Amino acid sequence: MNEDPVDALVATAPDGIDFDGLTVEAGSDGYAFETPDNAASGLDEAALREAAVEDPQVGNWYFWHAVAPQVDARWAFLRWLEDAEELALPERYDALESGLTTEWGQLRITVSLDGHAGRSYDLRHVDDETPATELTAHEDPLDARDIAKHDDDGDYRPLKTAPSLQTGWQFPDLGAADIVEAVHAFYPATVQNWHREREGELDIDHWHETVSRQTGIYGVVRTWDRGEGYEHVNWVAEACCDDSECLKRREWQYDEETQLDVGGGDGEFPCREPCSLVIAAARQWTKLEGEQAQTYEFELTPSEKEQVEEIIDAVADGRVDDIREADVYDGANRYRTRFLRAKLFDDDENLAGVETDDYTG
Ligand code: SF4
């Protein structure tokens, strides 16, 4: 499309325009040009140019037809960022003057006007309330790939949608194509799947189908799925797909007819199939759950039993690092736990001196 908004409008006017409150129609007596603030008819080309120049409606039309990526999912995502389907243009432009902010997982995206035919996108972590000068600025949207690799402790993030995105960075001025590229680098395929879901076209691969097609080293998970009901899948979903572990909203179920009993979460973007991390974990659970249950007898005080439960809870909720050393009231406190180990483990680290049965088959 022509690089000047008014030239582009004049070139398109013979075909007519009807977008976001701007209409241009070609008639036998010339052009009719109408916006919420302006209406004129019988215009020749020069008069049409005069009406269009500097009109924010024309800048807006140009942005959405010549600047924003003309790919359905990307275009819809950019519209969603500025609530374009709900806010009429004058209202939207007022909001864009100071910046419209939306969250996408742990990303905070603020869109503001850049001239009257452009947008600028600021991208940062939702938890970064600090002044921009304290954040590391990036220009290349693909830098997001490196940022997404590790959490704030420098640990590798195997699941890109885990709520462990590191803080301290900012993309202060991305264009329309680059903001979508950066979001894609942080959270691959989330924009596409979100769009498919909105269009009623999200194709979901449920647990049973996904597990049934596993081969090679993952083929073993098929055996766990045989004649077990689906309670084990509830446990998998509760362990891995909870909002505390993953920002996607799980849409897959056991199969088309069988809903899981645990909720899928509240994430903005859907999860359409069990991911590789879940399948890898399920492989290990398949092996562990293949063992026969045994009866063990331990002597614990009531408080020790509760302490074991508190330790399991603290580890499962990722709370261990938050428990202060001085907080000996918390059962998962390090000193409390070391005391329990000193008291209950024998020299071979058997709980209460009770040996573990041979489970190696
Ligand atoms: S399967 Fe679960 S953990 Fe994996 S991406 Fe989907 S919702 Fe997240």
Q: What is the pLDDT of residues 6-45, one digit of tens each?
A: 999 999 999 999 999 999 999 999 999 999 888 999 999 9
> Per-residue pLDDT for 48 more than 80?
yes
278 close to ligand 1 (CB < 6 Angstrom): yes
- Ligand 1: which residue has its CA nearest to atom 6? 271
Report the nearest atom of ligand 1 relative to the CA of 249: 7
- For ligand 1, the distance from its centroid to the CA atom of residue 243, given in whole angstroms, is 10
> Per-residue pLDDT for 69 more than 90?
yes
* Closest C-alpha among 106, 125, 103, 242 to residue 163: 106
Q: Give the per-residue pLDDT at 361.
A: 55
233 close to ligand 1 (CB < 6 Angstrom): no
- For ligand 1, the distance from its centroid to the CA atom of residue 262, given in whole angstroms, is 13
pTM for this model (two decimals): 0.91
180 close to ligand 1 (CB < 6 Angstrom): no
**Residue to mutate, 161, 210, 260, 269, ligand 1, most ligand atoms under 8 Å from C-beta:** 161
Take residue 273 and report the two structure tokens written for it: 């199939």
Give CA torsion, residues 149, 152, 153, 154, to 10 deg: 30
Across all residues in the chain, what is the average pLDDT?
94
- Ligand 1: which residue has its CA nearest to atom 1? 274
Take residue 53 and report the two structure tokens written for it: 């120049």
Quote the CA–CA distance of 183 and 179 in Å, as a whole number: 6
> Per-residue pLDDT for 187 more than 60?
yes
Q: Is the C-alpha dihedral spanning 267, 269, 270, 271 positive or negative?
A: negative
> Per-residue pLDDT for 98 more than 70?
yes
- For ligand 1, the distance from its centroid to the CA atom of residue 160, given in whole angstroms, is 10
**Residue to mutate, 209, 240, 268, ligand 1, most ligand atoms under 8 Å from C-beta:** 240
